Amino acid sequence: MTVESDTHSGHPPDLMNKLVSFAKRRGFIFKSSEIYGGVGSVYDYGPLGIELKNRIQQLWWREMVYRHDNIVGIDAGILMNPEVWVASGHVGAFSDPLIECRSCHRRFRVEDVPVKTGGEAPRSGSAAPGGAAPDSAAPGGVAPDSAARGGAAPSDADGAGTLAKIPEEEEEESLSLARQCPVCGTRGQWTDPRNFNLMFKTFMGVVENEAATVYLRPETAQGIFVNFRNVQDSLRQKIPFGIAQVGKAFRNEITPGNFIFRTREFEQMELQFFVAPESADEWFERWKARRMRWVESLGIRPERLRFHEHGPNEVAHYCKCAYDIQYRFPFGWHEFEGIHNRTDYDLGRHQEHSGKKLEYFDQAANRRYVPYVIETSAGLSRTLLVALADAYDEEDLGGGKKRVVLRLSPALAPVQAAVFPLVKKDGMPEIAEKLASELRGSLNIVYDAAGSIGRRYRRQDEAGTPFCLTVDGQTLGDETVTVRDRDTLVQSRVPLRGAGAYLREAIAASAPGAD
């Protein structure tokens, strides 16, 4: 897989390709079912990857649920009554207009095919626009353009929907002539845009052709909306209040790519915050500011963060107003979290379709209304990519040597500390093993006695481990150990008995939260 890089982003050169191999080599992220050639844009999280994902998720939960007395969490099913997706509008509107190159039959989102005015050479076989690499044809044929690769034109039978009419037809025609296929280089040979629904379908029931079609949820939000009444009744929540959820979502993306940036299976961390309609704008601003503060508190460089307001053509069908938090990835500025004013759209639609009242009764004002919703919707896997891309660093040591360091905030580090004996004699391994086992339980600790101390430090630098504790000759006399800081390389001495408190304090100090 090759991924494009933006040379002005301040990241190390060719970072995305480096990250792909680094993440595999160090056990962060593997291609799903790799021994069978993988499956279209699905990834598995290895031992370090799941730790990093857990840290992000736990910090998010702490920030969104534990810090508020009016926000609670739920965990809804991935499979829901299919009527949910009709009511939410996803069956009708959750689709991407795609165009197909008549020459090589690859399909792209319209906005991903740049308009070319010059006579550039085609980038045959390279990444698709927006940096999305066309997946190699996976056994099982899960890649979205697999039908096109086989030469078949899009048809309703293979998942295509109805032709989408574009308003500015003339302008679109001339744009179409100027569009050049990023794969085969053919210019101006495009089909009209067609809509493809992005939801995965499956069957519920034993006999496939008699079973009901159900969908794998494309967002976690709907599980919250349909539980609005349950949560409100069971916990007697008063507006404003929120419901948070973290979980898997699935989208049959047409142009997945850029490693884990856009995948077909991913995780979201979503909050739906229910408010009175007249206070929605104020709450929107509050959540917008608060979410940016939280992202910064993870240690992400502020100069690589910005808001992007959705224009009228960008906002989703359920939204009145939307801002993205974007990160400057090596392949450009892109969203990894959205803050949306969903109005009373979702609760209103579910009320209409289910026939169940989803109103709120404000006793003090003796008033009944369908609440507005301010949503904060973050991609967990995409936030993980932000953390990795921002933390990966190569330090030039001179003489052609370099130190790879993952400068993750200690609060995010998969391994929080490593414990080494300086040498494997004089009782040092025994003291170090005992220290490691005492620290385990509250912290994720690695014990390593293999190889030179320099090599052991390098291994931990790559894993992003912020602290390395070394038992040395002095430990035998005064019961202190060295603590080496990954970023400053400064080594200080702490008492053996105080090492746990030292680490916990340093980690807590690196996760101040949003307040």
Q: Which residues bind ligand GAP (CB under 6 A)?
A: 219, 221, 251, 253, 262-263, 266, 268, 270, 335-338, 375, 377-379, 381-382
Cβ contacts of 402 within 8 Å, gap of 6 or more: 394, 395, 396
Give the whole-angstrom CA distance, residue 225 versus residue 274. 10
Between 343 and 470, CB nearer to ligand GAP: 343
Residue pair 370/297 in contact (Cβ under 8 Å)? The answer is no
Amino acid identity, position 514: A
- Tell which residue, 200, 204, 201, 215, has the closest CA to residue 82: 215
Between 146 and 186, CB nearer to ligand GAP: 146
**DSSP letters for 260-279:** TTB-SEEEEEEEEEEE-GGG
Structure tokens at 73: 């969490």
Between 13 and 92, CB nearer to ligand GAP: 92
Shortest CB 327 distance to ligand GAP, Å: 10
Between 262 and 459, CB nearer to ligand GAP: 262
**Cα torsion at 282, 386, 380, 202 (round to 10°)?**
120
Shortest CB 100 distance to ligand GAP, Å: 21
Amino acid identity, position 214: V
Between 268 and 460, CB nearer to ligand GAP: 268
Shortest CB 381 distance to ligand GAP, Å: 5
Shortest CB 475 distance to ligand GAP, Å: 46
Report the DSSP pairing between strands 445-447 and 417-421.
parallel
Shortest CB 42 distance to ligand GAP, Å: 10
In sequence order, the β-bridge partners of residue 343 are: 373
Between 217 and 459, CB nearer to ligand GAP: 217
Q: How many CA atoms lie within 13 A of 347 on its CB side?
A: 25
CA distance readout (Å), 275 to 21, 69, 90, 292: 45, 15, 24, 21
Element at 308 (helix H, strand E): strand 305-309
Residue pair 341/280 in contact (Cβ under 8 Å)? The answer is yes
Between 381 and 460, CB nearer to ligand GAP: 381
Residue pair 402/396 in contact (Cβ under 8 Å)? The answer is yes
Between 346 and 472, CB nearer to ligand GAP: 346
Shortest CB 43 distance to ligand GAP, Å: 10
Shortest CB 329 distance to ligand GAP, Å: 12
Question: Tokens 């419901």 sit at which residue?
Answer: 243
Between 63 and 448, CB nearer to ligand GAP: 63
Residue pair 194/160 in contact (Cβ under 8 Å)? The answer is yes
Structure tokens at 93: 């509107």
- Tell which residue, 112, 110, 134, 141, has the closest CA to residue 183: 134
Shortest CB 268 distance to ligand GAP, Å: 5
Between 11 and 262, CB nearer to ligand GAP: 262
Structure tokens at 56: 């992000």
Give the whole-angstrom CA distance, residue 510 versus residue 233. 38
For the chain, report the end-to-end CA distance as a whole number of angstroms. Answer: 41
Between 154 and 379, CB nearer to ligand GAP: 379
Amino acid identity, position 496: L
Q: How many CA atoms lie within 13 A of 253 on its CB side?
A: 20
Shortest CB 13 distance to ligand GAP, Å: 25
Shortest CB 295 distance to ligand GAP, Å: 12
Which residue, judged by CB position, is nearest to ligand GAP in the bound state?
A: 379
Shortest CB 290 distance to ligand GAP, Å: 16
